[in-house]
């Protein structure tokens, strides 16, 4: 039989491993985000990464690129039609309805973190599996919450030492005022139909708002002259938007009104925004985006419940943290190094490691190495004050040698006294 060719496995296209050399940045970002979210009164929620495909088709929107072009469908053996979540919001809405969170005192403020899946063309800052940190607030229609969500984002970036952040903001209105805007937009584009790209011709038929999303060079002059949503807002939506901007002014947060901003998801009402890094080209695309979605809970089968949220793209923020050389923790602060020799010494060292840990003395070690010389070399690299040496003899005597790494002085002490001895020396 011919020999089977050996296959070299690779991560699926557009997906990757998050490696130890970057974990300090990821840890810092997630920890800072989670702590800050809790300080702002948010509680953690986790939802499955696979949901009923219809949840996204009806929630995110059938004609959105995210659903129509980028969603990973999963067929189960039982025939259920599921999908890998392309975004977090519909799953959190489902969890809010399914778990009776609507009957608790409102607003309910939730945060989450996890992978999302979009079958996009991979490029810098764009992955088929990417990670988001999201906030969602349910049960309050006040403009102050829109502003608070944006404030959280700025606060988080500031806390990470990333200061050159600004936002683009717009209002999409509500089902009352959107039809008039839609008509004006359609009217405007119908007269220019021959001049736009094929994608825009399709958008004109399927989802006119998305015309404003077009990145084609030839559509730009038409897009910039197009009617603006803010000119068609009803009184309530105009008042809401004005209040959001007043709160942002009060907080002195830098924002730009962008009348072309529509966002790529169908559920938004009123406020929408995207967060950018100020230096052009330094970060590919938005670092985050969000907005109000006052009808989504109802559209997915719940009661009419106002809601607002945001999701931050962690992959892009980590890249930025690396580029801006954000300081991260240098890892555990080792105080001593454990050097062992022989089976008996190694056994005692394993035990001693745990005792030291319980006493709050972090010990570095290289348990698998045999030679004392090699271990002492590593101890030197760690820059610890003391090495604890445990060989065959010490294991038998119940002792351990404490070696001062600077002076080279050594002293033998009883194993049960070593924690006390070390504490004394550290105090000095």
Binding site for ligand HAM (CB under 6 A): 87-89, 118, 120, 125-127, 130, 132, 134, 136, 264-265, 286-291, 293, 309-311, 313, 315-316
Q: How far is the CB of 118 from ligand HAM (least distance, A)?
A: 5
Of 354, 373, 350, 371, nearest in space to 362 by CA: 354
**What SS3 class is residue 381?**
helix
Q: How far is the CB of 112 from ligand HAM (least distance, A)?
A: 10
CB of 229 to ligand HAM, least distance (A): 17
Q: How far is Cα 244 from Cα 238, in angstroms, rounded to an integer?
A: 10
Q: Are 327 and 342 in contact (CB under 8 A)?
A: no
Helical segments of 359-413, H only: 372-382, 392-397
Q: In what order do the strands lie in the sheet with 165-171?
A: 43-44, 108-117, 129-138, 307-313, 288-292, 269-277, 165-171, 255-257
Would strands 307-313 and 288-292 be described as parallel, antiparallel, or unpaired? Answer: antiparallel
- In the complex, residue closest to ligand HAM by CB: 313
CB of 11 to ligand HAM, least distance (A): 15
Which residue, 129 or 393, is less far from ligand HAM as judged by CB?
129
- Least separation in angstroms between CB 127 and ligand HAM: 4
Q: Nearest approach, Cβ of 345 to ligand HAM (angstroms)?
A: 50
* Contact in structure between 11 and 126 (CB atoms under 8 Å): no
Measure the CA–CA gap between 33 and 156, rounded to whole angstroms.
6
Closest C-alpha among 118, 59, 63 to residue 85: 118
């Amino acid at each position: 039989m011919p020999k089977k060719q050996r296959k070299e496995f690779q991560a699926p296209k557009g997906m990757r491993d998050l490696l130890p050399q970057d974990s300090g940045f990821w840890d810092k970002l997630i920890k800072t985000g989670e702590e800050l979210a809790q300080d702002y009164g948010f509680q953690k929620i986790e939802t499955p990464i696979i949901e009923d495909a219809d949840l996204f088709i009806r929630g995110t929107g059938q004609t959105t690129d995210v659903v129509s072009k980028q969603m990973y469908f999963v067929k189960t053996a039982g025939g259920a039609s599921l999908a890998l979540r392309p975004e977090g919001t519909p799953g959190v809405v489902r969890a809010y309805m399914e778990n009776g969170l609507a009957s608790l005192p409102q607003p309910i403020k939730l945060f989450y973190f996890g992978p999302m899946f979009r079958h996009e063309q991979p490029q810098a800052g764009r992955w088929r599996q990417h990670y988001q940190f999201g906030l969602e607030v349910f049960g309050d229609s006040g403009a102050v919450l829109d502003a608070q969500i944006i404030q959280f984002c700025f606060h988080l970036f500031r806390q990470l030492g990333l200061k050159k952040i600004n936002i683009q903001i717009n209002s999409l209105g509500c089902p009352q005022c959107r039809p008039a805007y839609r008509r004006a937009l359609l009217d405007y584009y119908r007269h220019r139909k021959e001049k736009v790209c094929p994608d825009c011709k399709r958008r004109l038929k399927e989802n006119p708002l998305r015309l404003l999303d077009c990145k084609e060079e030839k559509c730009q002059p038409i897009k910039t002259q197009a009617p603006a949503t803010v000119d068609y807002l009803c009184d309530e939506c105009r008042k809401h938007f004005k209040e959001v901007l007043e709160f942002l002014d009060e907080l002195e947060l830098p924002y730009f009104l962008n009348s072309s901003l529509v966002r790529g998801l169908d559920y938004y009402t009123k406020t929408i925004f995207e967060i950018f890094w100020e230096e052009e080209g330094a970060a590919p695309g938005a670092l985050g985006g969000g907005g109000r979605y006052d009808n989504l809970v109802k559209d997915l089968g719940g009661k009419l419940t106002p809601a607002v949220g945001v999701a931050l793209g962690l992959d892009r923020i980590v890249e930025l943290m690396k580029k801006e050389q954000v300081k991260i923790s240098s890892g555990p602060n080792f105080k001593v190094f454990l050097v062992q020799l022989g089976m008996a010494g190694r056994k005692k060292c394993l035990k001693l490691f745990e005792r030291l840990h319980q006493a709050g003395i972090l010990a570095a070690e290289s348990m698998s190495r045999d030679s004392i010389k090699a271990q002492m070399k590593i101890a030197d690299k760690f820059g610890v004050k003391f090495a604890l040496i445990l060989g065959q003899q010490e294991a038998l005597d119940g002792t351990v040698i404490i070696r001062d790494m600077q002076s080279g002085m050594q002293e033998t002490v009883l194993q049960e006294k070593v924690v006390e001895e070390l504490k004394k020396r550290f105090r000095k």
